[in-house]
Amino acid sequence: MTEADLDLDIAVDDADPRWVKALPDITALAERAIGAALAGRIEGPAELAVRLTDDAELQALNRQYRGQDKPTNVLSFPADDSDHFEGEPKPLGDIALAYETVVREASEQGKTLSDHTLHLIVHGSLHLLGYDHEVESEATRMEALEIQILGGLGIADPYQPDSGASGPDGLQQEA
């Protein structure tokens, strides 16, 4: 199944207007990243939501769900399989991104905001599918998949030393 074959309903909530001001095509970028991440990895109709918000909201969510009282770049909240009703699209979950943190990281790592945002949405999408980076073998697998997906989107390997990225831990793992 290719990206074009996906039956996917993506809701993008631009809760912080700075996202749209900085990236006017943010909805299309999110759909592109999610489509690339999910292609060949899901079957049947599915849905998910992306919330484009700020550090304050991500800090509150990070505190509530992960016990870490600090902002983070992206959080993923996989849906419970019991949330699926026969004949309805399968809910995959929610992804939330914090504007200030993502902008700061992109600048620090010498990346465009667009490329860094695409990477984080791909990363968050993979978490919705159960990929993780709690142990080294999982991190290596997830990182390789991210590199492959991002390459297909025309984005250089974000984990190369010259990219400024610090690997999965630099992504401040999600919930």
Domains parsed from the chain with CATH numbers:
3-170 (3.40.390.30)
Strand residues in the chain grouped as ranges (E): 8-14, 46-53, 74-78, 90-98
3-class SS at 147? helix
C-beta of residue 91 within 8 angstroms of C-beta of residue 128: no
Give the strands of the sheet with 8-14, arranged side by side. Answer: 8-14, 46-53, 90-98, 74-78
Note the pLDDT of residue 174. Answer: 39
Note the pLDDT of residue 3. Answer: 57
164 pLDDT exceeds 70? no
Q: What angle do CA 32, 56, 150 make, to 5 degrees?
A: 20
* Two structure tokens written together for 17: 């207007």
Mean pLDDT of the chain: 89
* Two structure tokens written together for 119: 């990477």
Whole-prediction pTM value? 0.89
Taking residues 146-173, report their average pLDDT.
Answer: 71
Note the pLDDT of residue 2. Answer: 52
Place of tokens 């990477």: 119
DSSP state of 94: E
C-beta of residue 154 within 8 angstroms of C-beta of residue 138: no
Beta bridge partners of 51: 13, 96
- Which of 28-32, 68-72, 133-137, 162-166 is the least confident region? 162-166
Q: How far apart are CA 112 and CA 162, in angstroms?
A: 14
106 pLDDT exceeds 80? yes
Q: How far apart are CA 16 and CA 131, in angstroms?
A: 28
Note the pLDDT of residue 27. Answer: 97
